């Protein structure tokens, strides 16, 4: 591939028509697109600010290697406040187009499949399908406060 250069990418989703049209729309104010380069604390701060502004629902979207970061961010947010969570996994086909640097060579297209994840977090269960296969209820607090490990330690140190 030394004799070619990348000139473009096309993304064709293998999703339901509803989700395919969502990817073509501009980013909504309640949507957070997670990238591999972004810092988790920036995404967490942004999401917390959206909830503080009165948003009841936000959507975290990630592709490829950024999926593990999106899951981490969702778990941190769920520990900061009680949130309902719905996960959706999909895949997207990306076609890379390479132009030749030398004359006489043809244009090359390379197809690859990338995993995509959408995590919906909501402060209320309105508009949330609790019977969805990707649904996770809020984490119960059980009287613990941030940084309080007394409940866990007492369970570990209790005599048998």
Length of the chain: 160
Contact 70, 44 (CB under 8 A): no
Distance CA 124, CA 77 (A): 14
What's the mean pLDDT when you consider all of the chain?
A: 81
pLDDT at 12 over 80: no
Q: What is the pLDDT of residues 35-46, one digit of tens each?
A: 999 999 999 999
Percentage of the chain exceeding pLDDT 70: 77
- Reference 46, options 29, 62, 61; nearest CA is 29
**How many CA atoms lie within 13 Å of 100's alpha carbon, on the beta-carbon side?**
7
């Amino acid at each position: 591939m030394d004799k070619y250069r990348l000139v473009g990418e096309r993304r064709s989703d293998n999703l339901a028509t509803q989700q395919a049209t969502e990817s073509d729309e501009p980013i909504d104010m309640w949507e957070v697109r997670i990238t591999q380069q972004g810092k988790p604390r920036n995404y967490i701060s942004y999401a917390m600010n959206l909830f503080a502004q009165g948003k009841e629902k936000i959507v975290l979207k990630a592709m490829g290697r950024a999926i593990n970061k999106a899951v981490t961010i969702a778990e941190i947010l769920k520990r900061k406040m009680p949130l309902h969570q719905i996960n959706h996994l999909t895949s997207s086909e990306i076609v890379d187009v390479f132009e030749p640097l030398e004359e006489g060579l043809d244009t090359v297209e390379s197809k690859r499949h990338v995993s995509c994840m959408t995590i919906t977090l909501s402060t209320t269960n309105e508009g949330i399908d609790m019977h969805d296969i990707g649904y996770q209820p809020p984490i119960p607090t059980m009287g613990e406060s941030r940084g309080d490990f007394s409940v866990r330690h007492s369970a570990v140190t209790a005599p048998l």
